[in-house]
Structure 1
Amino acid sequence: MKLFLLFLLFVCLSCKGQNTLSFQEGDSSPNATLNEVSWMQGHWKGEAFGGITEEIWSPPFGGSMMFSFKHVADGKINFYEFGHIRQLEKTLVFELKHFEGDLKGWEEKDGKVSSRLIKVEDNRLYFDGFTFEKIDDNEINIYVVIEDKENSKEVKFNYKKVKS
């Protein structure tokens, strides 16, 4: 199961989807601040991969916006992600790590998935292989380019804000 999810969730850096972009050699990231993505803060829930997904994003603080992600299928934790969007000089970078349900890490101890900012446009932030889209104050989409053994595809995660 771990290998399947690992193939499924890793970003295909050479693939370009309908709502995602790929960082090309020689490109540079645009200037951006955390204020441009602060609308992500909050508690969000959706459905994917035959289960329930949950993301919790902190407000900008200390140069980053921290998040946690949980996937639950058949009443059990399938995997977690932990990461952030952080200010890196005059731009942003999106970074994350994966964990099994018992918190065993998928990446090497010092490893992580790191995606550079490509473009900021209206209600979207495009990172390499990931796009964050604000629909309104209570709904967001996250588009992710994933790969399996055969091909790469773009997956849409639709989230609704959880009311406190």
Structure 2
Amino acid sequence: MKPILTFALSLFTFSLFAQDQQLEHKLENIAWISGTWHGEAFGGITEEIWSKPSGGSMMASFKLIADGKIVFYEIEVIREVNNTLMLQLKHFNNDLKGWETKDETVDFPLKEITQNKVVFEGMIFEKVSANEMNIYVDIKDKDGKIEIVKFNYKK
């Protein structure tokens, strides 16, 4: 009985270690983000569509619909920069007028990639299953206080 228990405990420990093991900062290690995702946030319906890695990047579009109307859009990219990855985005009103200036982007440098997480500074992608993920975003309120907003998405 003791060898079986030891073996089972070893397998459990190995599976925990494998999930937390850091992966190389390569697009192919985050390809699971690609797809069409739907969820709810900010009192409305959200849609985020991520492309598969190609040409050294992944791109996405995001939209928020509340009360049957578009509230805002985002264009996002994750691209290879200096042997790591960078997430960048721009926001747009419902009439496509940008929030950021022409040459300005909101940047999220990569911190780490594990089997089920992609951790950027200020944004985390968490794989729940093949058809579900959570995205956690640091958002500053009017007073500069940071609130973490969770987006739960399903394919």
- Asked if 2 retains the 8 angstrom alpha-carbon contact of 1:31 and 1:90, the reply is no
Question: 1:116-136 CA distances to partner (integer Å, 9 max, x unpaired)?
Answer: 001112310110100011111
Report how far residue 31 of structure 1 moved. Answer: 4.7
Structure whose CA Rg is larger: 2
In the alignment, which residue of structure 2 is the partner of 1:32? 25
In the alignment, which residue of structure 2 is the partner of 1:23? none
Write out the 4+ residue segments of structure 1 that deviate beyond 3 Å after TM superposition: none
Where relative contact order (Cα < 8 A, 6+ residues apart) is larger, the structure is 1
Q: 1-side partners of 2:41 and 2:108: how far apart?
A: 22
Give the gaps of 5 or more residues in structure 1: 1-29
The total of aligned residue pairs comes to 132
Tell me the C-alpha RMSD between the 2 structures: 1.1
In the alignment, which residue of structure 1 is the partner of 2:119? 126
Aligned with residue 153 of structure 2, among 132, 145, 159: 159
Aligned with residue 66 of structure 1, among 55, 59, 68: 59
Q: 2-side partners of 1:140 and 1:98: how far apart?
A: 22
Q: 2-side partners of 1:148 and 1:83: how far apart?
A: 21
Find the residue that maps to 2:96 and give its secondary structure: coil
Percent identity of the aligned residues? 56
Find the residue that maps to 2:30 and give its secondary structure: helix
Which residue identity does 1:100 align to in structure 2?
N
Question: 1:26-53 CA distances to partner (integer Å, 9 max, x unpaired)?
Answer: xxxx951001110011100000000000
